[in-house]
Amino acid sequence: MTTPATITVTAEIRRFDPSQDGEPRYQRFEVEGLANMSVLDVVRSIYENQAGDLAYQFACRIGRCGTCAMRVNGRPVLACQERCKEEMRIEPLTPFPVLRDLVVDRTEIESRLAALELAPKRDAQHPGKPEPIGADLAAKLCNMDSCLLCMVCVSACPAVDERPFDGPAFMLKLRHMAEHPADRGDRLGQALDHGMLECFNCDVCTQMCPADLSPAQAIRDFRKELVFGGVSKR
Amino acid sequence: MSGAATLPRNTTRQAEGALHGDIARLLHRFTGTVIVLFVLVHVIAQAVLHVPAFGMTKAAAPWLPVLQSQHWMHAALYFSIVFHTLYGLKLLASELGMRIEYRSALWVIVAISALVGLREVLRYAGI
């Protein structure tokens, strides 16, 4: 039997408790463990053995819930999926307000999602039985619906930093509805209202998405629809 | 079976490596700035060199004509023009519905632009 490779990780974690601290500070920790530890393993080890007051959050640990998103060396990642490095600077997800340490306030995210009304807006009552849908479209909708809403793409997006743009995740959600055969809402109009034209089309969101989705393609589809018009759903 | 049973961990390494989108976006801005700056400097330099009223300035800046024919400057300019044009066209095409893979598109455009820039260097070298 071979001994698994081990690693000593030096993690610098941004600590900030608004009720006590005037300014954020960075605290260094050393963690020894298997070389294939995830960033979340490191954070959990620090919480369990060195800093019991460290605030962070996670749920599924398999990259399906999007709860553990944080910035590692300046890049937004899912902590449960990202392989640890010898030197890591771990920070909360930007540009969201920090509640404490690595926990961000998602109130605004949730309120924006609620405001977008991301359920099919029907112009007639539901028939009360399953509605037929093409296999390809169903697969596409399922794929788009696998967005974790982890906000990694929003944190990585340079346009969110510079311009009045809600972010790629919201555009993907709107596109999901725009593609839905039962939806009659003006999703293109909503996308425009939420800054769709501010996107640089740089595909950083596509590269960073932990669910392998392409919010940038959703935005491009909206832009194409803006120029050529959408496909009739009737 | 031999060796320790290890789970195939589905780890990512997103915090490492280049962000293609950032490279493309920054290069696009940088090359655009180079083109605008060159046009500005070029107009001023041509005025200084050819308008008699700027004769005094011309005499005080004998390096100006030399600066205009530097091979590295032409190489940078040609690289910038080609990159900015091709990347701009790529953005347009993708937004009008063409599916273009962003990683390969970036490196192909960089390679074409670098070849054109290199051609300028070689041209000055008489090759």
Confidence of residue A1 (pLDDT cuts 50, 70, 90): low
> Contacts of residue B10 in chain A, CB cutoff 8 Å?
62-63, 81
Q: Cβ contact (<8 Å) for A77 and B15?
A: yes
What is the C-alpha separation between A145 and A143, in angstroms, rounded?
Answer: 5
The tokens describing B100, both together, are 């273009």
What is the C-alpha separation between A194 and B95, in angstroms, rounded?
Answer: 18
Q: Is the pLDDT of residue B117 over 70?
A: yes
Return the number of CB contacts < 8 Å for A and B.
85
User: Whose structure tokens read 């709107």?
Assistant: A174
Question: What is the per-residue pLDDT for A219?
Answer: 96
Question: What is the per-residue pLDDT for B5?
Answer: 42
CATH T-level fold of A6-104? Ubiquitin-like (UB roll) (3.10.20)
Distances (CA, A) of A68 to A12, A144, B9: 17, 21, 17
CA distance A53 to chain B (A): 26
Q: Is the pLDDT of residue A231 over 80?
A: no
CATH 1.10.1060.10 domain range(s) in chain A: 107-228
∠ CA B100-B103-B106, nearest 5°, is 85
Give the best residue of B10, B11, B98 to mutate against chain A (max A CB count within 10 A).
B11
Q: Averaged over B107-114, what is the pLDDT?
A: 96
From B3, B16, B25, residue closest to A202, measured CB to CB: B25
Q: Cβ contact (<8 Å) for A207 and B21?
A: yes
Give the best residue of A202, A208, A217, A220 to mutate against chain B (max B CB count within 10 A).
A202
Question: What is the per-residue pLDDT for B10?
Answer: 62
Nearest CA in chain B to A39: B11
CB distance A37 to A9 below 8 Å: yes
Q: Which CATH class is domain A107-228?
A: mainly alpha
CB distance B61 to B48 below 8 Å: yes
Confidence of residue B3 (pLDDT cuts 50, 70, 90): very low
From A2, A82, A220, residue closest to B14, measured CB to CB: A82
User: Hey, is A76 helix, strand or coil?
Assistant: strand
Half-sphere exposure of B85 (CA within 13 A, CB side): 10
Q: Is the pLDDT of residue A226 over 60?
A: yes
pLDDT in tens, A28-86: 999 999 988 999 999 999 999 999 999 999 999 888 899 999 999 999 999 999 999 99
Nearest in space to A39 (alpha carbons), one of A4, A6, A71, A5:
A71
Q: Give ipTM to 2 decimals.
A: 0.82
Cis amide leading into A95 (omega within 30) = yes
> Contacts of residue B96 in chain A, CB cutoff 8 Å?
224, 227-228
pLDDT in tens, A136-170: 999 999 999 999 999 999 999 999 999 999 999 99
> Contacts of residue B94 in chain A, CB cutoff 8 Å?
201, 220
pTM summary value:
0.87
**Per residue, what are the HEC states of A136-205?**
HHHHHHHHHCCCCCCCHHHHHCHHHHHCCCCCHHHHHHHHHHHHCCCCCCCHHHHHHHCCHHHCCCCCHH
What is the C-alpha separation between A63 and A210, in angstroms, rounded?
Answer: 7
Any idea where the domains of chain B sit in the sequence? 27-36+64-124
